[in-house]
């Protein structure tokens, strides 16, 4: 019942004082009923409805009578007389209303179908969001790919593809901007906010991100990207002229002053300035302590940028022999990205440096567990190379070789696993096989653009010991093309000054 129920018949003001409650007016009921009957004979029942009388304002309202007809007395416990009640029980449901209800039910069913497809698209994205919060970056990326595959699968359903053709190639199911936003969030958590911003600028466009409110949650990444670029532009000239100079000639103090002059300027990130100061310290060969001072300052200003400064900071601690600190920062990086191989490697080598083989093995187990979470092959076979190294460090060459074979089979060839295999053969004095493995390592690294000093020096060592001059010269010339020489550890070993065991038992346990 609405508030208006008792006011169906407007009450003229002059008559309002005459209104009495049913209890009070029992004596007058019959008189009023007669009056009302005389005056309200025009109840219309068109279309099954009981409508109001246009002249109702002239009626004296009687609360004891039916609110509609004001003719008969109300039934007990009702607002209406029995006649009107009987009519009202038959009030017609309009055909238009029935049609609207049926149409809405049909639309609802269609919406249910769309909703089920949408749910299939969204679930992997939600999963990606959860995974990346736990640091499972590769697994999260796989989930985004899965969402894309699901969407393609839905669009390839014959009915939908036919509809799409009918409407000039309209996409009926799309991941919209959600895939880009989720991917940006994965980049921000798993790598850096600068990477996330760069991804958005490239995929969506800066204007769209900054103007469309749907991108509100990821706008900060584009702002960070711009901050980084502005800072880089501002300080780039201080370095470009000096990069090829000897460290003695680099004007360190002057550069630091120049960098500091940009502090607190609009569009400049103070935390990135600290990063560039660290770069200046590297160019001026100021040592790990000085470099770390800047990096720690950057950490204070921008703690979430751990994956920008963390690797260098941890590596510097490792080089300084502060293995606990190196492990601490490796853990910080892994908290953000459990798939960040350099952090695992740093942690692993830090444990090896302290002969903590148990924890070193745990690092390998963690990598395996993280990779399993991804559910698919993500191209990271660090686990095998680290396990192989752990085994040969403990003197178990046979098992190390088995692990390498296993890794090579699963990966289809991986430069670092081949390199570890070459090291095991070197330690077993099997130089012919060592050269073969080292050459494979070089080839895989070369074609996957992952050539590094370790691979080139290991190959040079193998070639030198196996008297493979051609490979040795190739390694030498390749290193020279990058401005490096063959490591003294390698040349000393080939010259017989130190043994292979001594090379690989040096700090860091490697050829550098």
Partner 1 sequence: MISTIIYLIGKLLTFPGAYLKGFFEHLCGRVFSIPVESSQYLRLTDGCGHVEHDTINGKAKNFFYCLLPGLITSAIGAPMLYAGFFGLFLLKVSFTSTTSLIFIVYCILFYLGFSLCANVYPLMEDALALWHSIYGKDGANIFVKIILFVPVVNIVIGAFFEKYSINVLLMTVSAAAIALFI
SS3 92: coil
- By CB under 8 A, residue 13 contacts partner 1: no
Q: CB of 137: closest distance to partner 1 in angstroms?
A: 20
Beta carbons within 10 angstroms of residue 161's beta carbon? 13
Which member of 79, 239, 357, 397 binds partner 1 (CB under 8 A)?
Answer: 79
Q: Which is nearer to partner 1, 115 or 495 (CB)?
A: 115
Q: CB of 41: closest distance to partner 1 in angstroms?
A: 19
User: CA 323 to CA 332: how far, in whole Å?
Assistant: 14
- By CB under 8 A, residue 172 contacts partner 1: yes
Q: CB of 73: closest distance to partner 1 in angstroms?
A: 15
- Asked if 314 and 346 count as a contact pair (C-beta separation under 8 A), the reply is yes
Beta carbons within 10 angstroms of residue 382's beta carbon? 22
Sole window of 90-98, 134-142, 311-319, 423-431 interacting with partner 1 (rule: CB under 8 A): 90-98
Q: Which is nearer to partner 1, 3 or 13 (CB)?
A: 3
User: CA 324 to CA 329: how far, in whole Å?
Assistant: 9
Tokens of residue 141, six digits: 């990326």
Residue (of 84, 88, 59, 60) closest to 72 by Cα position: 84
Q: CB of 89: closest distance to partner 1 in angstroms?
A: 5
- By CB under 8 A, residue 88 contacts partner 1: yes
Q: What are the distances in angstroms from CA 262 to CA 286, 295, 305? A: 22, 18, 20
Tokens of residue 295, six digits: 């990096």
Site string for partner 1, 38-57 (x = CB under 8 A): ---------xxxxx------
Q: What are the distances in angstroms from CA 45 to CA 58, 68, 87, 91? A: 20, 11, 8, 9
- By CB under 8 A, residue 212 contacts partner 1: yes
Q: Which is nearer to partner 1, 158 or 244 (CB)?
A: 158
Sole window of 78-86, 260-268, 269-277, 462-470 interacting with partner 1 (rule: CB under 8 A): 78-86
Torsion of CA 32, 33, 36, 37, to 10 degrees: -150
Q: CB of 147: closest distance to partner 1 in angstroms?
A: 10
Tokens of residue 130, six digits: 């959860």
Which member of 181, 184, 346, 363 binds partner 1 (CB under 8 A)?
Answer: 181
User: Which spans of this chain sit near partner 1 (rule: CB under 8 A)?
Assistant: 1-5, 8, 47-51, 68, 77-80, 84-85, 88-89, 91-94, 97-98, 100-101, 104-105, 107-109, 111-112, 114-115, 118-119, 121-122, 125, 167, 169-178, 181, 212-214, 216-217
């Amino acid at each position: 019942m609405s508030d208006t129920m008792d006011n169906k018949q407007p009450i003229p003001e002059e008559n309002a004082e005459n209104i009495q409650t049913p209890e009070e007016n029992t004596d007058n009921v019959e008189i009023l009923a007669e009056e009302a009957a005389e005056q309200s004979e025009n109840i219309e029942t068109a279309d099954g409805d009981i409508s109001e009388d246009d002249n109702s304002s002239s009626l004296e309202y009687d609360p004891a009578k039916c609110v509609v007809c004001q003719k008969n007395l109300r039934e007990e416990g009702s607002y209406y007389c029995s006649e009107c009640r009987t009519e009202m029980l038959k009030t017609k449901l309009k055909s238009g209303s029935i049609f609207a209800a049926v149409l809405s039910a049909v639309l609802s069913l269609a919406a249910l179908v769309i909703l089920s497809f949408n749910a299939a698209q969204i679930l992997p994205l939600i999963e990606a969001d959860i995974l990346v919060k736990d640091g499972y970056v590769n697994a999260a990326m796989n989930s985004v790919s899965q969402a894309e595959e699901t969407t393609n699968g839905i669009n390839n359903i014959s009915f939908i593809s036919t509809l799409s053709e009918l409407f000039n190639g309209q996409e009926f199911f799309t991941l919209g901007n959600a895939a880009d936003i989720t991917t940006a969030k994965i980049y921000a958590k798993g790598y850096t906010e600068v990477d996330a911003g760069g991804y958005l600028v490239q995929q969506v466009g800066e204007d769209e991100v900054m103007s469309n409110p749907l991108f509100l949650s990821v706008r900060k990444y584009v702002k960070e990207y711009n901050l980084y670029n502005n800072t880089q532009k501002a300080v780039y000239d201080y370095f470009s002229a000096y990069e090829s100079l000897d460290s003695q000639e680099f004007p360190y103090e002057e550069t630091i002053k120049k960098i500091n002059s940009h502090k607190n300027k609009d569009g400049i990130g103070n935390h990135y300035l600290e990063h560039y100061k660290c770069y200046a310290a590297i160019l001026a060969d100021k040592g790990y302590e000085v470099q770390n001072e800047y990096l720690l300052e950057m950490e204070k200003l921008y703690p979430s940028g751990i994956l920008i400064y963390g690797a260098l900071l941890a590596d510097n601690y490792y080089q300084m022999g502060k293995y606990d600190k190196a492990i601490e920062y490796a853990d910080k990086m892994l908290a953000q990205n459990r798939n960040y191989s350099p952090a695992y490697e740093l942690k692993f080598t830090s444990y090896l440096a302290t002969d903590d083989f148990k924890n070193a093995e745990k690092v390998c187990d963690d990598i395996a567990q993280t990779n399993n979470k991804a559910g698919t092959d993500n191209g990271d076979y660090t686990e095998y190379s680290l396990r192989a190294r752990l085994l040969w460090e403990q003197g178990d060459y046979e098992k190390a070789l088995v692990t390498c074979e296993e890794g090579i089979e699963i990966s289809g060839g991986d430069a670092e696993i081949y390199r570890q295999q070459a090291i095991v053969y070197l330690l077993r004095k099997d130089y012919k096989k060592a050269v073969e493995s080292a050459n494979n390592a070089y080839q895989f690294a070369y074609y996957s653009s992952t050539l590094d000093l370790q691979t080139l020096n290991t190959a040079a060592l193998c070639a030198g010991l196996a008297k493979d001059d051609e490979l040795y010269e190739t390694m030498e010339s390749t290193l020279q093309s990058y401005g490096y020489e063959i490591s003294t550890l390698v040349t000393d070993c080939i010259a017989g000054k130190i043994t292979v065991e001594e090379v690989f038992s040096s700090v860091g346990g490697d050829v550098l």
